[in-house]
Each structure stands twice: as structure tokens, then as C-alpha cells.
């Protein structure tokens, strides 16, 4: 095999391996890699939900960014992080069973893992309750993440 062809083959294999590694992340690992969900990941760990969100799924997660969590008064957030049961209820309110890509989102009620429903509107962009969806279709091996600008409260 000539050197140029070998270089091309090796480069292609590395590119494929790299994309598979990125595509091979579950919801938790994808959120950690993104870098702007530090508070969300901390909350998921505090609530004991890591294994669930690393599970088979599929799940659709409406993920508040660190900026979204910064809107919550510090005392309220600290209290929430200490109340495992309430924290789990809030976090599971951000999770819809199934993998719903942006092109398939429809206005209406969406049942959550929490048991309560989210109100989805599509008039001026996509809103989940009062939170604006700011980025969509961050795929993970066990679902998809849509980024929102506020924390949802059940």
C-alpha cells in the first residue's frame, strides 16, 4: 500500500473513531462534556439520578444551563440541593419518556417522568412552560437533550 493511501485510510479510521466516541455518550456524559450544565449534573448526582439517566432510555431532557440555575435564588437552590426527594421531583419534571427530536415537537401537554405534564407551545419559538428552548437535538446514546433558559418547577 503506498504511503498516501495508507495515510488516507488511517485518517479516515481516526475520524470515524472520533465521531463514534462522541456519539457514544449517554445523557449524563453528554451534559458533562458540554460544559454548561455543571449545576444540573451536580443536582442529578445529589438526587441520586445518575444511574437512571445513564440507563437505556430513551429520554428527552429539557436541560437548564448554569445560567438558568443562576436565576434561582441561591438560598432556594441550596435548600433544594439538600432535599433529595424534592430535588428528584424537580429534575424528573425536566425528563420526558422517549426521544423527541425538535422536528417532531408539537404544541400541547407532554407527560414527564415525574408524572406531571409540561406545556409545550410553538408560537414564537418553542417554549416549555415558561422556559425558552435555546438549543435542540443534542443527541446521546439514550436520548436527546434540548437546552432551556430556566429551571422548570412542578
Q: For 66-98, write each residue's pLDDT tens digit.
A: 999 999 999 999 999 999 999 999 999 999 999
Q: Is residue 9 part of a domain?
A: no
Q: Is residue 78 part of a domain?
A: yes
Q: Is residue 87 part of a domain?
A: yes
- In the prediction, which pLDDT does 19 show? 37
State yes or no: pLDDT of 15 exceeds 60.
no
State yes or no: pLDDT of 124 exceeds 90.
no
Q: Is residue 10 part of a domain?
A: no
Q: Give the CATH number of the domain where residue 68 resides.
A: 2.30.180.10
Q: Is residue 136 part of a domain?
A: yes
Sheet (strand 127-128) strand order: 95-97, 59-64, 143-148, 131-140, 127-128, 117-121, 108-111
The domain in which residue 107 lies consists of 26-148
End-to-end CA distance of the chain: 62
Domain count, the chain: 1
Q: Is residue 11 part of a domain?
A: no
Q: Is residue 56 part of a domain?
A: yes
**Would the pTM count as exceeding 0.85?**
no
Q: Is residue 107 part of a domain?
A: yes
Amino acid at each position: 500500500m503506498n504511503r498516501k493511501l495508507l495515510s488516507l485510510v488511517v485518517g479516515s479510521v481516526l475520524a470515524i473513531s472520533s465521531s463514534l466516541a462522541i456519539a457514544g455518550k449517554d445523557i449524563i456524559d453528554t451534559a458533562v462534556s458540554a460544559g454548561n450544565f455543571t449545576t444540573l449534573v451536580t443536582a442529578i448526582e445529589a438526587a441520586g439520578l445518575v444511574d437512571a439517566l445513564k440507563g437505556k432510555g430513551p429520554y428527552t431532557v429539557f436541560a437548564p444551563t448554569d445560567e438558568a440555575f443562576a436565576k434561582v435564588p441561591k438560598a432556594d437552590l441550596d435548600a433544594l440541593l439538600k432535599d433529595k426527594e424534592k430535588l428528584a421531583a424537580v429534575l424528573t419534571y425536566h425528563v420526558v419518556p422517549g426521544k423527541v427530536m425538535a422536528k417532531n415537537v408539537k404544541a400541547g401537554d407532554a407527560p414527564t417522568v415525574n408524572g406531571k405534564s409540561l406545556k409545550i407551545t410553538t408560537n414564537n419559538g418553542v417554549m416549555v412552560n415558561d422556559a425558552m428552548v435555546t438549543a435542540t437535538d443534542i443527541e446521546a446514546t439514550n436520548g436527546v437533550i434540548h437546552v432551556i433558559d430556566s429551571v422548570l418547577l412542578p
